[in-house]
Amino acid sequence: MTDQVDDVIGVGAELGVVVAFGRLIKPHVLDVLPMVNVHFSLLPRWRGAAPVERAILAGDDETGVCLMTLEEGLDTGPVHGCVRLEIGRDETADELRHRLVDAGVELLVTQLREGLADPVPQEGEPTYAAKIEPDELRLDWTRPAIELERVVRVGGAWTTVNGRRLKVQRACAHQITGEGIFVETGDGPIELLEVQPEGKPVMAAAAWARGARWQPGQPFGT
């Protein structure tokens, strides 16, 4: 069966644009139709499938969008232009991704309107953003609180209480709001603010605790 990507050959286009495609495009296609890629990181940092999530998990202070020439290698092509963005202290991956999309669209449209800037090779030590595996989102309460907060910000974080899965939607390790419940971690407490029990909607963690008769100090991950 012919690769569907091959369908672009012969359509008469002058340039292809790729965003979060998730597959390598073969040289025989790129030879016919040059392509650019809108990538959500400051290359060569976080090449690969999950640059937004990996930047948050690593505690990066900033990220950005790069418009790069597509090559057969994984996000290795020279760069036409980049936009830098600070990562908000409590910003989730979804919130950050929305800002990156807006910045990426503006960068792409400007570059296409004004003519693509001459690409320059990527400089620096590459890092790779592997796909997030489900087990990485399981909260390990022996880890430092700040690391657990980052996992929650990525989205999909979960734990168990009395054998039942509990998703943690929002948590804070750097300031006390007094609105949530506190769970001990490897280096101190973290405040859980919003959770989602199995089969139920997202709710305030304090409301869940009352309904589940959870007591302060009762362990999670059980």
pLDDT in tens, 31-54: 888 899 999 999 999 999 999 999
Pair of tokens at residue 107: 């960068």
Strand residues in 71-198 grouped as ranges (E): 79-86, 128-129, 158-161, 164-172, 181-185, 188-197
pLDDT in tens, 138-182: 999 999 999 999 999 999 999 999 899 999 999 999 988 889 999
Rounded Cα–Cα distance for residues 149 and 132 (Å): 16
- What pLDDT score was predicted for residue 119? 96
Residue 97 has pLDDT above 60, yes or no: yes
CA-to-CA dists, residue 214 to 62, 97, 120, 211, angstroms: 38, 34, 56, 8
Contacts of 144 (CB under 8 A, 6+ apart): 185, 186, 187
- What pLDDT score was predicted for residue 32? 83
pTM for the model: 0.92
